Structure 1
Amino acid sequence: MTQIVALVGSLRAGSINRQLTEAAVQHAPEGIELSVFDGIVDLPFYNEDIDGDTPPAAAVAFRQAIADADGLLLVTPEYNGTMPAVLKNALDWASRPFGASPISGKPLAVIGSAFGQYGGVWAHDDARKAAGIAGAKVLEDVKVAIPQSVVRFAETHPREDDEVTGLVRGALTALADAAAAEPVSA
């Protein structure tokens, strides 16, 4: 069983990106278990002064969740042309300790939806860039950006949209394939 952890860049309970993640959980292909790590909301802003011998408990739990996963799925909206601060902060925590971070070499894909006509591609590009610099093995070919989310999902949940569920299943399959191709030692 391939274990994938999802990080959702929107903290709002009813967000389209949270719903997109719910669709991914529900429609995960056989052999893939997708879980959502909601604890990124509890991470303090990254500060090397508090990341010493006894980092905050939220950071320890977060790093362990990443270490235990075979791959990561970032699901993000676009805030002011980039990724939400909570997601960037999570990537900062995941990138440490330098040289031995839990994200190092971990397959990672970015998907999401936004109100605009491009579906959040700027945020997705920034998330891929930051994750790659943090050490993740970013799947650059996995691009799922669903535009005009407020209109498209006004009366339907993403899990009921066949096109969306197909795209999400494809992203998860690509992550599982990448994890199988080069297992990451924890």
Structure 2
Amino acid sequence: MSAQDHQVELVAIVGSLRRASVNAAVARAAAGVATAARVTMHDISDLPFYDGDTEAAGLPEPVERLNRVVGAAEGLLLFSPEYNSSLPAVTKNVIDWLSRPPKVWDGLPVGLVAATPGQRAGLGVREHFTTMLDRRPMRVFETLGIGSYGDKLDADGELTDPETLIELADYVDRFAQFCRDGAE
């Protein structure tokens, strides 16, 4: 099997804890449509909020698990809603923990997909993500915004819009190539 044939191992983290999270539905759809990558979801519902005192006392198991999963991946995809034109606390918390020792994501390709109900397709969260992570020691990939998601979901809240699924598959496959390019 050539390097081009191997599926890139990606970890997906959703920056929303809602059971019916649209961004979780988008992450599931990404896992289903990707051809060049295997996308594995990582649950962060038990990840404590970053606190220097907690860190100094020893990393809690959910933080150690996050570090193991992200450290073993070839790339990290964050799926995040936009709150008040920026990152929600859940997404920011993941970034805060990963930016602390042992800094397993140093050098790792990282991308962001934002699904929002508005027409701006999460422009605020995507701009903040890029600005913030461009200063970190990882390889930042472009972002993807999915706006006006209300008409792109079925009655069960799953992403079914054919054009959006094609766009999502293209994004994940290009991200997988970005991961490969950095590994060579």
TM-score normalised to structure 1 length: 0.86
Query: Quick check: 101-110 or 128-137, which moved more?
Result: 128-137
After superposition, where does 1:64-143 map in structure 2 within 5 Å?
64-97=68-101, 100-140=102-142, 143=143
> What displacement does 1:156 show?
7.6
1:161 to partner: Cα distance: 1.6
- Aligned-residue CA RMSD in angstroms? 2.0
Whichever residue aligns with residue 139 of structure 1, its letter is F
Match of 2:176 in 1: 176
Give the drift of 1:145: 1.0
Count of residue correspondences: 178
| 2:15 matches 1:9 | yes
Worse overlay, 171-180 or 64-73: 171-180
Q: Distance in 2 between matches of 1:164 and 1:51?
A: 40
1:135 match: secondary structure = coil
Residue 42 of structure 2 corresponds to 37
With over 3 angstroms needed to count, the CA separation of the structure-2 counterparts of 1:114 and 1:159, relative to structure 1, is closer
Distance in 2 separating the partners of 1:80 and 1:93: 22
Gaps of 5+ in 2: 1-6
Bigger CA drift: 157-166 or 42-51? 157-166
Give 1:135's aligned amino acid. Answer: P
Cα distance change, pair 50–157 in 1 and its aligned pair in 2 (3 A) = closer
Unaligned runs of 5+ in 1: none
In the alignment, the residues of structure 2 paired with residue 137 and residue 56 of structure 1 have an alpha-carbon distance, to the nearest angstrom, of: 27
**Residues 53/15 of structure 1: CA separation in 2 closer, same or farther (3 Å cut):** closer
The share of aligned pairs that are identical, in percent, is: 28
Matched, 1:19 2:25: yes
Amino acid at match of 1:16: V
